[in-house]
Structure 1
């Protein structure tokens, strides 16, 4: 017997309507910056509003009311969690940008040398900040003279390693495995930052 919509959904990884909706959401997020690269910021807002209206219209047409309600609840939950962290992160980044001496950043993490990437990796390996605050933090350091390679090294290391992370891994898996993990991340981050800075973003 032919299956209904529920069975069609189960037969694949993702339903076609959901895939189209996901694509429209991605387009609505990328379109403003790609379509409007010059002129007043209001043009980007206008493009975003048009794209978001298309997303909303398609969602209303293809989704049940209960699904839309859950979607909005999940969206609001993320906004409540992420937005305060983002504001706090931007504030902390602003303070750091005003306090850190530019000469120090240029001396230790300027350029794209392997040692500069190593210093950036070590900074990322002991720091503990949320993903939402990491990008503004790295952007601030680049404004103070950090090279592109060390910036990549810091972005690679930060999410997977921190001082509390060291302690947690050591307690659960033992000191030897924790040391191997930390050394591996630091080495890979340093080499990746050096390679990207010298051969890809140079």
Structure 2
């Protein structure tokens, strides 16, 4: 009984610490940005450039950074990937988006930086972009003779209602949101309040009430979709921190070497991490002695692939392509972690 109580105490302690330290300053602004991206940036403009006939420089560049633009997470990237590939998108840009998307969403980057440090948050985004492009290019070369099941290309672009707003208004609006996120996390109250005033001015001058309601509704959708899983993940991380001996972590992933990074990548590929739950779980492992290199490897591999995710990817791509993709994810995540751990 005492053992169970200690596990529960560890879970609740981690939950209270996390909620008090990160939710208001980090996660709440990120939810509002994700909602704004979802409402005011047309995703079709991005996915339009994933077609196999598009210039590779354009398609791979957009695919590697579109996770930030689209605010995708690990629970939404799979159906988007399926839609891109089945509608004629090249396999290279499609898997580039699949690997990079969840790792560089505004929620993933801001939460990783806020909880684990700006170095690992920035490294997560940079390595996800670089290795996602490499994986996409390798997949495109290996399976260059294969064709998607359908040849329907994404060629037409529907009218973009958001395009009627002048660009400077959109830039000021998103700039104020990003400034709120940055300076709230940095606890710079004067600049945070200034950014908040700019945001309120934007809402008053540039948007009508129906648009504001739509933004708030989409933000709330993200909260309902992600926050319950995140709370559960934080609680589990606290339990694991209480349950797992520190010497167990230090023995296997406590140093930066190829084997420890490979173990972390394999663990990420086998386990299932609901949206953003990988961050508090990795934080628990870091507190127990996990080195930063394996921590990054786990952060990169976890959202990109899992056993449930493999079943979906296998259904879309087939066994050969799915296994190749997963192997490349594990290798690239291990290499990224090892490189990051050196510096």
Deviations 1:152-180 (A, max 9, x none): 11111111110112223333333222221
The answer on 1:57 being equivalent to 2:201 is yes
Kindly tell me: are residues 104 and 9 of structure 1, through their superposed partners in 2, closer, same or farther at Cα, counting changes over 3 Å? closer
The counterpart of 1:31, out of the listed 177, 180, 183, is: 183
Of stretches 69-78 and 163-172 in structure 1, the one that deviates more from structure 2 is: 163-172
Where does residue 102 of structure 1 map in the other structure? 246
What is the alpha-carbon distance in structure 2 between the residues aligned to residue 113 and residue 54 of structure 1?
47
The counterpart of 1:150, out of the listed 277, 280, 294, is: 294
- Say whether the 8 Å CA contact 1:113–1:194 is kept in structure 2: yes
Unaligned ranges ≥5, structure 1: 1-5, 37-43
What is the CA distance between 1:102 and its match in structure 2? 1.1
**What TM-score, normalized to structure 1?**
0.82
Where does residue 93 of structure 1 map in the other structure? 237
Of stretches 103-112 and 76-85 in structure 1, the one that deviates more from structure 2 is: 76-85
What is the alpha-carbon distance in structure 2 between the residues aligned to residue 189 and residue 171 of structure 1?
23
What is the CA distance between 1:103 and its match in structure 2? 0.9
The answer on 1:73 being equivalent to 2:234 is no
What is the CA distance between 1:135 and its match in structure 2? 0.8
**What TM-score, normalized to structure 2?**
0.50
What is the alpha-carbon distance in structure 2 between the residues aligned to residue 164 and residue 7 of structure 1?
35
Q: CA RMSD in A?
A: 2.5
Where does residue 323 of structure 2 map in the other structure? 179
What is the alpha-carbon distance in structure 2 between the residues aligned to residue 16 and residue 50 of structure 1?
18
The answer on 1:124 being equivalent to 2:276 is no
- Say whether the 8 Å CA contact 1:9–1:15 is kept in structure 2: no
What is the CA distance between 1:9 and its match in structure 2? 6.2
Unaligned ranges ≥5, structure 2: 1-158
What is the CA distance between 1:101 and its match in structure 2? 1.6
SS where residue 111 of structure 1 aligns?
coil
Runs of 4+ in 1 over 4 A off after TM superposition: 6-9, 46-50
Where does residue 41 of structure 1 map in the other structure? none
Q: Which has the larger radius of gyration?
A: 1
